Chain A
Amino acid sequence: MDIAFDRRADDTLVVHLGGNWNIANGLAATDELEKLLATKPLPAKVAFEAGKLGDWDSSLLAFLSKLAACCSSKSIEVVSRGLPTGVARLLELASAVPENKDARKERRRAPLLSRVGEAVLEAGQAIEEMLVFLGEACISFCKLIRGKARFRGSDLALLLQECGVQALPIVSLISLLVGLILAFVGAVQLRLFGAQIYVADLVGIAMAREMGAMMTAIVMAGRTGAAFAAQLGTMQVNEEIDALKTMGISPMDFLVLPRMLALVLMLPLLCLYANLMGIVGGGIVGVAMLDISPIHYFNETVAALRIMQFVPGLIKAVVFGILVALSGCLRGMQCKRSASAVGESATSAVVTAIVAIIVSDAILTVIFDRIGI
Chain B
Amino acid sequence: MDCFDKKQTCIEVRDLTMAYGDFMIQHDLNFTVNRGDIFIIMGGSGCGKSTLLRNMVGLQPPARGKVLYGGASFWESGPEEKKTIMRRFGVLYQSGALWSSMTLAENVALPLSEYTRLSQAEIAELVSLKLALVGLAGFEEFYPSEISGGMCKRAGIARAMALDPDILFFDEPSAGLDPISARRLDELIIELRDSLGTTVIVVTHELASIFAIGNNSVFLDAETRTMIGVGAPGELLKESRDPKIRRFLTRGEK
CB-defined contacts of A24 to chain B, threshold 8 Å: 116-117
Instruction: Count chain B residues whose beta carbon lies closer than 8 angstroms to a beta carbon of A.
Output: 34
Tell me, yes or no, whether A6 is within 8 Å of chain B by CB: no
Q: Is A100 a contact partner of B125 (Cβ separation < 8 A)? A: no
**Docked complex Cα distance between A85 and B197 (Å):** 12
**Docked complex Cα distance between A260 and B145 (Å):** 31
Tell me, yes or no, whether B164 is within 8 Å of chain A by CB: yes
B158, chain A: closest CB distance, angstroms: 11
Tell me, yes or no, whether B139 is within 8 Å of chain A by CB: yes
Known: A98-B137, A104-B138. A339 touches B197 (CB 8 A): no
Which residue of the partner chain, among A59, A86, A337, contacts B197 with CB atoms under 8 Å? A86
The 4 A-B pairs with the shortest beta carbon distances in the complex, nearest first, are A338-B100, A86-B195, A340-B101, A97-B135
Q: Is A104 a contact partner of B141 (Cβ separation < 8 A)? A: yes
Further pairs besides A65-B132, A85-B195, A339-B99: 16, Cβ < 8 Å: A24-B117, A27-B125, A58-B164, A62-B122, A62-B125, A86-B197, A89-B195, A94-B129, A94-B132, A96-B135, A99-B132, A103-B142, A104-B141, A105-B141, A338-B100, A339-B100
Interface of B is mostly: loop
**Docked complex Cα distance between A370 and B144 (Å):** 56
Contact with A along B88-104 (1 / 0, CB 8 A): 00000000000111000
Residue of A nearest to B140 (CB): A104
Tell me, yes or no, whether A40 is within 8 Å of chain B by CB: no
CB-defined contacts of B139 to chain A, threshold 8 Å: 100, 103
CB-defined contacts of B194 to chain A, threshold 8 Å: 86, 89
Q: Is A57 a contact partner of B129 (Cβ separation < 8 A)? A: no
CB neighbors of A among B117-131 (8 A): 117-119, 122, 125-126, 129-130
Which B residues have a C-beta under 8 Å from some C-beta of A?
5, 99-101, 112, 116-119, 122, 125-126, 129-130, 132-133, 135-139, 141-145, 163-164, 188, 191, 194-197
B193, chain A: closest CB distance, angstroms: 10
B251, chain A: closest CB distance, angstroms: 30
Q: Is A338 a contact partner of B138 (Cβ separation < 8 A)? A: no
Q: List 12 A-B contacts (CB under 8 A).
A: A23-B126, A62-B122, A90-B133, A90-B191, A94-B133, A97-B132, A98-B137, A100-B138, A103-B142, A104-B141, A105-B142, A340-B101
Indicate the size class of the contact surface on chain A: 35 or more
Q: Is B164 a contact partner of A23 (Cβ separation < 8 A)? A: yes
B131, chain A: closest CB distance, angstroms: 9
Tell me, yes or no, whether A303 is within 8 Å of chain B by CB: no
B71, chain A: closest CB distance, angstroms: 21
CB-defined contacts of B197 to chain A, threshold 8 Å: 86
Among B112, B130, B137, B197, residue most surrounded by chain A Cβ atoms (within 10 Å) = B137
Q: Is A100 a contact partner of B196 (Cβ separation < 8 A)? A: no
Tell me, yes or no, whether A66 is within 8 Å of chain B by CB: yes
CB-defined contacts of A61 to chain B, threshold 8 Å: 129
Tell me, yes or no, whether A26 is within 8 Å of chain B by CB: yes
Which residue of the partner chain, among B100, B117, B164, B191, contacts A93 with CB atoms under 8 Å? B191
Residue of A nearest to B147 (CB): A103
Which residue of the partner chain, among A97, A336, A337, A340, contacts B137 with CB atoms under 8 Å? A97
CB-defined contacts of B116 to chain A, threshold 8 Å: 23-24
A250, chain B: closest CB distance, angstroms: 25
Tell me, yes or no, whether A95 is within 8 Å of chain B by CB: yes
